[in-house]
Amino acid sequence: MFLAVLVSLFLVFEKMFPADEREALFGTIYDNIGLVITIFVLSEIFFGIIPPEVFMLWALRTGHLGGFLSGIGMLAAISYLAGAFNYNVGRSIRNTAFFTKIRRMWLKKSLILFERFGGYLIVVASVTPLPFAGIALLSGAGNVKAKTYYLNSIWRIVRYFVYAFVLYETSL
């Protein structure tokens, strides 16, 4: 649903503003590959502030990352690695006094369920607009096994290519 809304907004925006006006509005940001990738990395680490589909459309429209598939592969790898970073941050805060207090006060039952069923939530967060970074952080803090996390989060890469295919087909 979110993808459909995003694609629709993109197509409406594309029809409303001629290419030269879009270039004037976004040209300096649009062509700065380092800035765009930095914004993407930060967004993926900090709870997906900007939907990844925006960056997929950027990769499709500019070709700055090489071919569209290689660009999507790069974005997918960055997203997967950002999730791995958050998972490891979660593991490192798991035994801190602050998190132990929160766990005792509010999360006791939830974390027991999360430890048992967290793999399913990782898959769901990987393929839907749920905040993948937050689920990755919670997975580490919630004691989900590393093998379970890393295998289930591979679905994130699959999502990127499926969404990219839809975006490619709708933008022809």
State the Cα–Cα distance between residues 139 and 124, nearest whole angstrom: 13
Q: Is the pLDDT of residue 154 over 90?
A: yes
State the Cα–Cα distance between residues 157 and 155, nearest whole angstrom: 5
pLDDT digits (tens, 9 = 90+) for 14-25: 777 777 776 666
Higher pLDDT, 88 or 10: 88
Among 1-5, 53-57, 138-142, the least confident range: 1-5
- Domain spans of the chain, in order of start: 2-170
Q: What is the pLDDT of residue 3?
A: 59
Q: What is the pLDDT of residue 27?
A: 63
Q: Mean pLDDT throughout 65-92? A: 92
Question: What residue spans of 46-131 are helical by DSSP H?
Answer: 52-62, 68-93, 97-102, 108-127
Q: Is the pLDDT of residue 172 over 60?
A: no
Higher pLDDT, 76 or 106: 76
Whether residue 36 contacts residue 58, with contact meaning beta carbons closer than 8 Å, is answered with yes
State the Cα–Cα distance between residues 139 and 133, nearest whole angstrom: 10
State the Cα–Cα distance between residues 121 and 171, nearest whole angstrom: 31
Angle between helices 155-170 and 68-93 (to 10 degrees): 150
